[in-house]
Chain A
Amino acid sequence: MDFLTLIQVLDSTVRLSTPLLLACLAGLFSERAGIFDIGLEGKMLAAAFFSAAIAAVTGNVWLGLLAGVTASLVLSALHGLASITFRGNQLISGLAVTMLAQGFTVLVAQSWFKQGGRTPSLLAEGRFGPITFPFADSVAGVPFIGPIYSELLSGHSILVYVAFAAVPATWWILFRTRFGLRLRAVGENPAAVDTAGVSVVGLRFAAVMICGLLCGLAGAYLATSLQAGFVKDMTAGRGYIALAALIFAKWRPWHAMGACLLFGLLQAVALRFQNIELGGLTIPVQAMDALPYILTVVILAGFVGKAIPPKAGGEPYVKER
């Protein structure tokens, strides 16, 4: 494998990791506050649809982004209402959110655009274009550094940079602010937070809404940046891979980035090389596709350190009387 191929594979890794990373951080906020969210997939799907639909109608990608994030926030609020206010089962609520999104995106798309559950293809102004770093073209010829700068770092859409900037931001919010401390506490021991006079419900809702915001970005990235429009079920299970990455990262932001990059790399390698020959042994492409899930099971089984979820995760909080 030559250097240019390596750069291309890594470039593809960045593109494929970005939606995973945004969804993974979304899940991180929610689950750290004690609300399990298997509805990441559904929120991404809804955001993908509404961002593409509004961008197609108005021709403005920023309005599309706004619509996508709003749709995702509405679903988040629904999940919060069911699992925080009414103390319902969080897994069932998350699943319901996904099923709802899978159904109504296609239904609404069909009734609006009559193109069989998809949106029209977006024109250039309806999409997030690549951002070219200064001097990217002029340094492209410089050996080693040049391709890294111009191919790998430059030329992605703005949401990619937002996603990677969200990692230190998440770390800072969770581990260096009062809000973050309380948010983590509410996922471990909500009774203690309540005793201290801080609203458990308020904190959990805040976490769930941050989750919605990030899922909205992930969905908008899929539909208006990677693709030029919405296609039925276009998230193709990425919400679930993000959940696997979250467990793999043991609910920590920097590790989440590592896990998402690893899973993205596995996908990129599988797509680029298909069947890989390793010293006479052929690794089929299916094995590469399954690897994220296998790795997650290995982690969950406790072979590589223990993955301990937030203690109060999945438990609706009931005030003591």
Chain B
Amino acid sequence: MTLMKSLMGAAAAMALTAGAALAEPALIFDLGGKFDKSFNEAAFNGAQRWAEETGETFREIELQSEAQREQALRRFAEVGANPIVMAGFAFADALGQVAADYPDTKFVIIDMVVDAPNVRSVVFNEHEGSYLVGMMAAQASKSGTVGFIGGMDIPLIRKFACGYAQGVMAANPDAKVIANMTGTTPAAWNDPVKGSELTKAQISQGADVVYAAAGGTGVGVLQTAADENILSIGVDSNQNHLHPGKVLTSMMKRVDNAVFAAFTDGVDMETGFNVMGLANGGVGYAMDDNNASLVNADMQSAVDAASAKIASGELAVHDYMSDDSCPALNF
């Protein structure tokens, strides 16, 4: 009898903890993987910070294939996770289908807009951050030629390239920008060999600063830039530490802030359109010990001045995605 009792007790305790787990927020990583030293890792860091500050836990899953998107969303929604944050533009279609089926669950999609009453769409003004690192690239370049290497050729990556090119032109109107995309399939996010070859090709065309917005492919870009003794610019997270003294700066996209905010707001979050730009700390450039010797005071003051102007609205950086064209760069 006592055995039976303790078993029942254990079962009840399990049921209780399961019940307590219901309100857990959830985070879904995109195909690049949780520790991509970039986009997904930034999302993870935000969630981790929230967990450490609140002492609570969250659920997470790393996708292995395209087919799992809707499945993962539905699974989390079914077990009652709320809110569900997904890191990546590619979730838009799946979320569009799933959101209406779970009206009481709050969804947060980063990098894309999904129009539903229970969805918060977080987009970043990547063009603003890219503009700043473009200015730095142009000032650091001795040859007057700088490069851009994108991952998969999608409008979002062109937005990076376009902002970057505008920044380059603002700092040095005579500069030349070479822009390349790694590929047109999702494999382009994980092909460091191609990233290396693109970097070598750009170097042979005169580039001495290369900006990589290419996920895992960027690892190859930064490596080759360091090997060939030119400067590179990292993306999404602070990547300055990967090759100290060889990475000029990193365009920080504060995905961590977006995830942190979503988890903190919890179930009662405001849904709708949420733009994170220079004005509210959504994007920026990274400065630390690793690149302090590469950035001089002139460069930093010029960039900070531009940053203040963009934040106040005095200076407008053209967004490629607004009209699918770029005044500073031909694709």
Contacts and interface: CB of A to CB of B under 8 A. Distances in A.
Contacts of A16: 193, 197
Contacts of B216: 118, 231-232
Interface string A266-282: 01100110100000000
Interface string B157-178: 0000000000000000000000
Interface in A254-289: 267-268, 271-272, 274, 285-286, 289
B184 A118 contact: no
B220 A227 contact: yes
Nearest to A13: B197
Interface string B190-223: 1111101110110010000000000010011001
B194 A236 contact: yes
Nearest to A8: B204
Nearest to A16: B197
Instruction: Identify which of B35, B193, B219, B223 gathers the most chain A CB atoms within 10 Å of its CB.
Output: B193
Interface string B4-43: 0000000000000000000000000000011111000100
B182 to A, nearest CB: 8
B211 to A, nearest CB: 16
A111 interface: no
Instruction: Identify which of A229, A231, A233, A286 gathers the most chain B CB atoms within 10 Å of its CB.
Output: A231
A197 B136 CA distance: 73
A116 B33 contact: yes
A307 B293 CA distance: 59
B187 interface: yes
Contact of A236 (B34, B191, B204): B191
Contact of A12 (B34, B197, B227): B197
A268 B191 contact: no
A227 B37 contact: no
A271 B197 contact: yes
A237 interface: yes
A236 B193 contact: yes
B107 to A, nearest CB: 25
A189 interface: no
Given A121-B242, A231-B216, A231-B219, A285 B181 contact: yes
Place the interface of chain A in its size category. 20 to 34
Contacts of B200: 8, 12
Nearest to B187: A236
Contact of B181 (A4, A118, A232, A274): A274
Contacts of A268: 197
Nearest to A12: B197
Contacts, number: 80
A271 B220 CA distance: 14
A231 B192 contact: yes
Contacts of A138: none
Contacts of A226: 193, 196
Contacts of B41: 116
Contacts of B219: 118, 227, 229, 231
A228 B243 CA distance: 12
Contacts of B37: 115-116, 118
A286 B227 CA distance: 29
A313 to B, nearest CB: 28
B183 interface: yes
Contacts of A228: 223, 227
Contacts of A236: 187, 190-191, 193-194
A117 interface: yes
Nearest to B201: A272
B220 to A, nearest CB: 6
Nearest to B179: A274
A227 B223 contact: yes
A265 B194 CA distance: 13
A289 B187 CA distance: 12
A204 interface: no
Nearest to B178: A274
A237 B186 CA distance: 12
B181 A234 contact: no
A68 to B, nearest CB: 16
Nearest to A226: B193
Contacts of A267: 194, 197
A228 B195 CA distance: 13
Contact of B36 (A15, A116, A285): A116
Contacts of B201: 8, 12, 271-272
Contacts of A117: 33, 35
A289 B184 contact: yes
A222 interface: yes
Interface in A234-248: 234, 236-237
Contacts of A231: 190, 192, 216, 219-220
A45 to B, nearest CB: 11
B183 to A, nearest CB: 7
A267 B200 CA distance: 14
Contacts of B227: 228
Interface of A: 4-5, 8, 12, 15-16, 19, 106, 110, 115-118, 121, 222, 226-229, 231-234, 236-237, 267-268, 271-272, 274, 285-286, 289
Given A15-B197, A118-B35, A271-B198, 14 more contacts: A12-B201, A19-B193, A115-B37, A116-B33, A116-B34, A118-B37, A121-B242, A222-B193, A229-B219, A231-B219, A236-B187, A236-B190, A271-B194, A286-B184
29 contacts: A4-B204, A12-B197, A16-B197, A106-B33, A116-B41, A118-B216, A118-B219, A121-B223, A121-B242, A121-B243, A229-B223, A231-B190, A231-B216, A231-B219, A231-B220, A232-B33, A232-B190, A232-B216, A233-B190, A234-B192, A236-B191, A267-B194, A267-B197, A271-B180, A271-B198, A271-B201, A274-B181, A285-B184, A289-B184
The 3 closest A-B pairs by CB, nearest first: A116-B35, A236-B191, A272-B201
